[in-house]
Structure 1
Amino acid sequence: MRKILLLTVCCALVCSLSGCIVFRRGSSNEYRSDEELADEMIENIIDCAEKEDAKALTELFSQYAEDSTLNLAEQAEEFIEFFQGQCKSWKGNASSHEKSEYGKTIWRELRGQYSVITDEAQYKIAYIYIPFHREEPDKAGLTAIEITTEETFNKDWFLWSLDQKPGIYVTEDKEERFSEQRLITPEELIRAAGLTKEQYRGADLEQFIEDFAITEEDVDALNIPLLLEEYEPDRKDGLIDVSYLIEDDIEKRTSDFTENVYAIAFMENKNTSTECVYYDLPDRKRYQTSNAYLFDDLYQTEPEYYADGQQMVEALDKYGVFSWESGTDEEEITDPQYMVLAVEYEDGTVFRVKASGLLSQVLPDEYDEVREMLLSGEHSGS
């Protein structure tokens, strides 16, 4: 018993001397309060800075952030060098938002902003922190940290950098340099990052560069191929906008209609009522609404699990849908009818058929069966 007690005391003493950081990530954080998680994180960040422990600082980051930031260790050293003195006090808070499905939280994100006063300076520290992520556990941990002085923070030109990209940012009072930063062009990005066509196929590189505020200097710091792989512009600001499938110009699919399908979207407006359904094949989800336009934001409705996406594609092929052509019925009717069916592929191409007027006159006889199949989710062979 004495040996156990002695061992416990020794462990406690070692931790107190070495500054052990207690950092939990993953599902154990789900039931902890935002305040507890946020305060624990700023205390860990300050502790790393005071002890000049760059390695411990990088260990607070998620695996995704580490993989996305090629020079995270160097950035941590710069952070440690910038932070001077011992902390006398800190205050601040964090905002929180999360994604839930069927009453269960999928992930939570905290955005903290704190004033930190040391015996040598006054700082502002901000961070983005995901305490847990059920679907992508490699994203649990810090995503980004930024530090600046209180004086710089109060400048009119100051904007936080960490909103754009993962990593550690030290912003000094260099207004001229800040204002002169130029975003890289798509052509420069492709060349500098050595991107292949396959890596950026289907991506809007201009939007990608703008969303991450990528400059020429960032190319050496960021894992551009990984960021592109994870890039989901449609999820920006909490939205999933797929209206381009229905409304925008498309690159037409001309062959192999049942291979590498990414999504199916169907809408029908008939007799003043609207039916919409969207099948997300990679995520195995099915979104559906009635009397509402779904495609501007799929988050309008809770998705249901749906694993038969490929079977649905093959059923469409069985009905000859991929040979259908768009058309318009010139006959005037009291209640105009309209439908659009779009199938999107992994390479960004789209098969789409539109019809307006009296649909029974414009579309093949199989339309009613196809419509019922898409809206019910029950295909032949279900």
Structure 2
Amino acid sequence: MTTLRLLSASGDLSDATLNDSGGYARPTSPLRSRVAYAAAHVVPRTHADNTPGQPADIDWDATLAFRRNVYSWGLGVADAMDTAQRNMGLDAAATRELIARSAEVAREEGGSVVVGVNTDHVAETHISLDAVVDAYVSQLEFTEEQGAGPVLMASRHLARVAESPDDYRRVYRAVLERATTPVVLHWLGPAFDPELQGYFTSTSLSTSGAPDDWQTASEVLLEIIGENPSKIAGVKMSLLNAESEISVRERLPEGVRMFTGDDFNYVSLIGDSQVGRRSYSDALLGAFAAITPVASAAIQALDADDHEAYRRILGPTEELSRQVFAAPTFYYKTGVAFLSWLNGHQPAFQMVGGLHSARSLPHLSRIVELANASLALENPELARERWHGMLKLNGLDA
């Protein structure tokens, strides 16, 4: 019996049995029952100056190989989004290069790619509504030129300057008028980015400290969609609130998909099978970058109309995802990169901007424990070797 050494928050060490991998098979035909994107991270060069405030220095071979691996499992790639450290270390130049390179890989692999469109290349913190529109359109046009599907991300610039829901309607209306291909709208909640508190409503919510009013915000979102249904392919909701997602999902126009971004509740949201047109969500998840083979196997089970197998395969991963996305949630990217390293998809546990230091050893140990329990370790022996080496490096007996 091979064991894993684990570290508790109190500093105690214990052992757990190392499980075999899930032994999942790659699909032999496209996935049918759900549209699923894994929101992919970026891998820095190991010898680069990956410290806070430094420009991103990307290991393109490892970063793009990770995307090829996602495609091999039948999933699409969502790129240059918050998982790729937008607003947390991925600078404007690296973002543009990532989008161009990722779109090229998608063409080579025959995969589907969508990428984030934001306003984050603008250095000024406060700009006018017209400048927000111009910034969005600049990135939108570049994305369309690369042949990638646009995801219109929530803008910090817009959140700072908007004084009412009408300001959101105005900006989104102007940007959507310029879109030449349907876009996915992205509603990112404040757990992922505190600067987006009160998005789609007004700055009064973000400055008062009041909780997000998702009911009011969802009305604004649905009005924006209702004005432009032909311009909108779907909505990605990342509020970590299943009730809000289901509420909006049930009211979407025909042809507009709901892509769950709820890394706490995705098993039921994707797998819902009640009778009705709006009975499930598709997926655009950072969690699926961490558990790609498991996610693929689960959707293959849905393709076979085996909902019991779907829950048996994917169900255990939700506790792992909740650990990866634990508060402060915006540091979930560290867990995604950590699992990528454990699973052999990058040579070192490093991240742009030094973000690999954002989680404690006990937190990472719990990720190891839950990944082992949910059969999300693709090569268990390699994961064990790397994790035990990390413990020894930190003066712990492994």
The two structures have a TM-score, normalised by structure 2, of 0.22
Greater share of residues in strand: 1
The two structures have a TM-score, normalised by structure 1, of 0.23
Which of these two proteins has the greater Rg computed from alpha carbons? 1
